[in-house]
């Protein structure tokens, strides 16, 4: 079996649903920017890309109709570059990367793109017309329950306190603020955004501007302020807006090649995609997914937790991220706090600060992880997330040191 390499990975900024810079920007335009920025940075001709596969958690309305194919054509790829859309909820973007990697490993392709997209401003959580199966919903209602309730279930069942969750949320914000200050997010492609401004005559004026930073980071966050927030999902719960992921708009993409293609086109790859796996868990505590997916991944690849230099574990909620860290043996504060120089988990902050644009997140975290593996010279990095419906996903990347 051949090896598959990421030669470049980028993302747009992540911007707050409804209130952020991309609230009125069409999702296809976000994805087009990511695709064009990807190819410009890779310095590879678009005509060599065989397929563009895009993850999207709610592929409907503006981000429906096979947005993978539509955006590829909008971005200037030739007609014979194909496109597809894939959905595994929160790991959709990583799923797209993994599928393209497997196609390359199997010899079915040489150059492909895996990416992710979600506009949570334009397409609401759950979609525009959710219609659960009436009979199945009686047998297994947990498949359809709020993700916030699953986070409360994890907190209650595994004794994750409100204080622990708020501390985790605080450090996510502080790490992200520090990273922005130090200009660590090299993977971001400056992205054109639009807004429609009401005019005195009742018309709307379209204004365009460039957004080049994640606009949900709150550097003024305090533990005292977080403690004052009311529970968001249960009257006497512990899960709040301050210790949950931000709902966000964004897009991301990764260019993947075989070794033969890298040499043919004179490209030095950044990382090798070693393995990807998924694990099933109970839907009513879906947040525990990484605690099962990561050990499965490590067993597949013969690696140990101590071998992994960086982790990107999606912070859907602090309760589940903390529980997973505990189960994986990496819950010590030195692994994740802003004042630890040896931290390995979400070193530049996670989704609590940077946002969780659902179908985009898997590709977004890949871009962040690859960027930091290159910066720090880290040999192995793991990306993982929980998935709505009761799953976890995890992928292992290996730094290309010699070429």
Angle 349-250-218 (CA atoms, 0-180°, nearest 5)? 35
C-alpha 153/C-alpha 239 separation (Å) is 10
Catalytic residue annotation? 90, 356, 386
User: Around Cβ 271, how many Cβ atoms within 10 Å?
Assistant: 24
Q: Label the pairing between strands 51-55 and 204-211.
A: unpaired
User: Around Cβ 73, how many Cβ atoms within 10 Å?
Assistant: 14
Asked if residues 383 and 366 have their Cβ atoms less than 8 Å apart, the reply is yes
116 CB contacts (<8 Å, ≥6 apart)?
54, 55, 56, 92, 93, 94, 96, 251, 252, 253, 357, 359, 360, 361, 362, 363, 364
How far is residue 44 CA from its own chain's centroid? 24
Structure tokens at 87: 């959905």
User: Around Cβ 224, how many Cβ atoms within 10 Å?
Assistant: 9
Sign (positive or negative) of CA dihedral 172, 176, 182, 185: positive
Asked if residues 313 and 379 have their Cβ atoms less than 8 Å apart, the reply is no
Element holding 98 (H helix, E strand): helix 92-105
Asked if residues 375 and 277 have their Cβ atoms less than 8 Å apart, the reply is no
């Amino acid at each position: 079996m051949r090896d598959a390499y990421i030669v470049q990975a980028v993302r747009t900024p992540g911007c707050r649903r409804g209130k952020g810079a991309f609230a009125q920007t069409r999702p296809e335009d976000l994805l087009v920017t990511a695709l064009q920025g990807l190819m410009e940075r890779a310095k590879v001709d678009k005509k060599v890309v065989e397929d563009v596969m895009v993850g999207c958690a709610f592929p409907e309305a503006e981000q429906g109709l096979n947005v993978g194919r539509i955006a590829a054509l909008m971005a200037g790829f030739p007609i014979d570059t194909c496109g597809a859309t894939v959905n595994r909820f929160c790991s959709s973007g990583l799923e797209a990367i993994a599928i393209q990697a497997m196609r390359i490993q199997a010899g079915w392709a040489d150059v492909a793109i895996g990416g992710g997209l979600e506009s949570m401003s334009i397409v609401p959580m759950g979609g525009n017309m959710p219609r659960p199966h009436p009979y199945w919903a009686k047998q297994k209602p947990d498949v359809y329950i709020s993700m916030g309730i699953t986070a409360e279930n994890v907190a209650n069942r595994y004794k994750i306190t409100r204080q622990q969750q708020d501390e985790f949320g605080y450090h996510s914000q502080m790490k992200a603020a520090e990273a922005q200050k130090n200009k660590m997010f090299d993977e971001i492609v400056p992205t054109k955004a639009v807004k429609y401004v009401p005019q005195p005559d009742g018309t709307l004026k379209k204004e365009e501007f460039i957004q080049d930073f994640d606009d949900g980071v709150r550097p003024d966050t305090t533990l005292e302020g977080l403690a004052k927030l009311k529970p968001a999902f249960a009257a006497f719960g512990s899960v709040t807006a301050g210790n949950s992921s931000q709902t966000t708009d964004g897009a991301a993409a990764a260019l993947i090649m075989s070794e033969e293609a890298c040499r043919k086109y004179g490209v030095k790859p950044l990382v090798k995609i070693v393995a990807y796996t998924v694990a099933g868990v109970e839907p009513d505590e879906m947040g525990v997914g990484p605690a099962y997916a990561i050990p499965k991944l490590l067993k597949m690849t013969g690696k140990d937790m101590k071998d992994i230099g960086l982790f990107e574990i999606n912070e859907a909620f602090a309760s589940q991220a903390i529980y997973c860290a505990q189960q994986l043996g990496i819950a010590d504060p030195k692994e994740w706090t802003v004042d630890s120089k040896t931290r390995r988990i979400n070193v530049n902050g996670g989704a609590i600060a940077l946002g969780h644009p659902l179908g985009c997140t898997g590709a977004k975290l890949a871009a962040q992880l690859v960027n930091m593996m290159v910066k720090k010279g880290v040999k192995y990095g793991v990306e993982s997330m929980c998935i709505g419906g009761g799953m976890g996903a995890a992928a292992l990347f290996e730094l290309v040191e010699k070429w």
